[in-house]
A and B are shown apart, each in its own frame.
Chain A
């Protein structure tokens, strides 16, 4: 059958039938889309139960982060999960894992090959190593944050729930915040040329999910808390355990707490 004949065979009845099918399909897409939208907000909460449709009020949260150094096995799952979740460019890190070996005489051997993304190979150190451990790191989301303070255009800011975030549309890429972060948590994104950092997966938090790194930690070394939630277990641990902060002398007031963390960690 030639192409012309086919076109001529297309009768008014065919047209009406096709139009009806099209309208039906369109209706399905709209309905289905709406359903999908509702279902996207119907998710499992951090405590496990299904909730939704989820309404998120940032002023009702203040997140804290707890890292138990004794539980980290250096598998790098968190780093890989963060990379996938947030499309982090290779050789830059929103979260990472460091490895420490400390000798009997207090000499520190630290490394973090590729941010610990691919785990760690055994390391041969010619010294009497008396303790070794892995330390997960991420942005401390400081309350008294030096990076947002000195952003000249206000592109770095603190959100109502206390997260330190970057507005990529406003960032001029001056790198001043990268210089100001004492923890090496920021970098200039090689593609967008703007400052980039851990957002504590705020896109997930706003849907009632936990962060990608916490979700993927097989040992529970990383935990997320909410100081505005009633009876939050992480808040309780921070209040009652021997926790420490990184570089407390700088008075940045980090929201990331460490337990079982040796003083060699910087």
Chain B
């Protein structure tokens, strides 16, 4: 009786407004930003051991960027008016910056990929006949200069773009976090830590995706997995996952310790309503286990074989991909489970299978980037040219 009586929702608060699609959106943009950072670690910070994944991470970033708007369109009440955000932006809204940030970032990624693949594109144009030749000649923009000097210039531009891309990727994802963090009406979202948490978890998910993709792709191509590359990725992953989880815990610990009014609703939310997805999946399964696994890879490197380290890294990265998705779920859905009354909870949200905002649509949206990557790989290799053919452009 008491529990029921205490549960009071504002009458308009019975509906979950932001569905699985809005969980998916920050997840996808996170993968975009994170994958880009991996590429920049190679291009800007000279981590040459990451060369095997530099191209893959750029193309993965672009592939996911292409579908980033899809969950939003599936969610909007009036998707046909979506372009209003770009045409008539209301600049006091964080969301209005979307068009600009997305547009700039898209151009940046496409130009960088074009420069990286320029040599291959020209070679393809010269080798092919008919439509294919015409197509790749158009993609090459009619410039056929692949002299060493020309590639050196390309390389310098790539470094600049990759460097500019770091703040661009940070803004792209930081702004997604800001969209939640700036909603002062919501006790669970409203924290300046939110953009930072989103940013670090984005990098974590991006690196994790590249680890998984690289290992699968190399196995499929029956190539040798570069142990140094996986080892380096595992180290970065360990660092960023640790930072992410620290920040996530810090937010909760601060709320709990300060015993602010927010904790009156956030406490029961975490303990009762999202205990499985937050404590179980996000924290214990998703954070603690990969932390231990990656710790083994990083700290016990000399005692383990390459194969074993690759297997452990693969498992840890896969779990971290689930962890970041769980984090997005807990923020977006968890933040809507309680009413603005501060003393009531809705029924738990279970996404529908079909429909515009259902599980089927989510799977479709996530599948598209992989199809794009497969298509891309048919013409331009996602993995670098075999050793010995060092390209000045990279």
Contacts and interface: CB of A to CB of B under 8 A. Distances in A.
Interface of A: 91-93, 96, 98, 107-112, 114-115, 125-126, 146, 149-154, 170-176, 178-188, 192-194, 250, 266
Given A152-B96, A153-B90, A154-B88, A170 B17 contact: no
A108 B344 CA distance: 12
Contacts of A266: 341-343
B15 A154 contact: no
A124 B111 CA distance: 69
Interface of A is mostly: loop
A112 B76 CA distance: 29
Given A153-B90, A179-B185, A174 B95 contact: yes
16 contacts: A110-B341, A112-B10, A126-B2, A146-B183, A146-B185, A150-B93, A150-B183, A153-B81, A172-B79, A173-B77, A179-B186, A180-B183, A180-B185, A183-B10, A184-B12, A250-B185
Contacts of A188: 15, 17, 77
B299 interface: no
Contacts of A126: 1-2
A50 to B, nearest CB: 38
A93 B11 CA distance: 7
B278 to A, nearest CB: 20
Contact of B12 (A111, A186, A250): A186
B94 interface: yes
A172 B5 contact: no
B127 interface: no
B341 A174 contact: no
Interface string B90-127: 10111110100000000000000000000000000000
For the complex of A and B, 3 pairs with smallest distance between CB atoms:
A173-B77, A184-B10, A193-B77
Contacts of A150: 92-95, 182-183
A18 B192 CA distance: 77
Nearest to B95: A152
Contacts of B77: 171-175, 188, 192-194
Interface string B15-26: 101100000000
A108 B78 contact: no
Contacts of A170: 81, 84, 88
A110 B60 CA distance: 51
Nearest to A196: B12
A176 B95 contact: yes
Interface string B181-194: 01111100000000
A152 B98 contact: yes
Nearest to A194: B77
A151 B12 contact: no
Nearest to A96: B11
A151 B18 CA distance: 15
Interface in B164-196: 179, 182-186
B85 interface: yes
B340 interface: yes
Contacts of A115: 11
Given A150-B93, A170-B81, A185 B17 contact: no
A21 B247 CA distance: 83
A111 to B, nearest CB: 6
A252 B292 CA distance: 46
A244 B72 CA distance: 39
B75 interface: yes
Contact of A179 (B1, B17, B72, B79): B17
Interface residues of B, number: 44
Interface of B: 1-2, 5-6, 8, 10-15, 17-18, 72, 75-79, 81-82, 84-85, 88-90, 92-96, 98, 179, 182-186, 336, 339-343
A192 B79 CA distance: 13
Given A173-B76, A175-B17, A112 B6 contact: no
Nearest to B261: A249
A188 B85 CA distance: 18
Contacts of A185: 12
Nearest to A189: B77
Contacts of B184: 146, 180, 182, 250
| Most interface-central of A92, A109, A115, A126 (chain B CB within 10 A) | A109
Chain B CB within 10 A, most for which of A149, A170, A187, A266: A266
Contacts of B343: 108, 110, 266
A192 B185 CA distance: 25
Nearest to B344: A110
B5 A179 contact: no
A173 B76 CA distance: 5
A179 B96 CA distance: 16
B82 A172 contact: yes
Contacts of A152: 84-85, 89-90, 93, 95-96, 98
Given A112-B11, A152-B89, A179-B183, A194 B78 contact: yes
Nearest to A188: B77
Nearest to A126: B1
Given A125-B5, A152-B96, A193 B78 contact: yes
A175 B18 CA distance: 7
A184 B341 contact: yes
A174 B6 contact: no
Contacts of A194: 77-78
A186 B18 CA distance: 14
Contacts of B90: 151-154
Contacts of B75: 174
Nearest to B190: A250
B81 A172 contact: yes
A45 to B, nearest CB: 32
A70 B81 CA distance: 46
B165 to A, nearest CB: 25
B185 A92 contact: no
Contacts of A108: 6, 8, 343
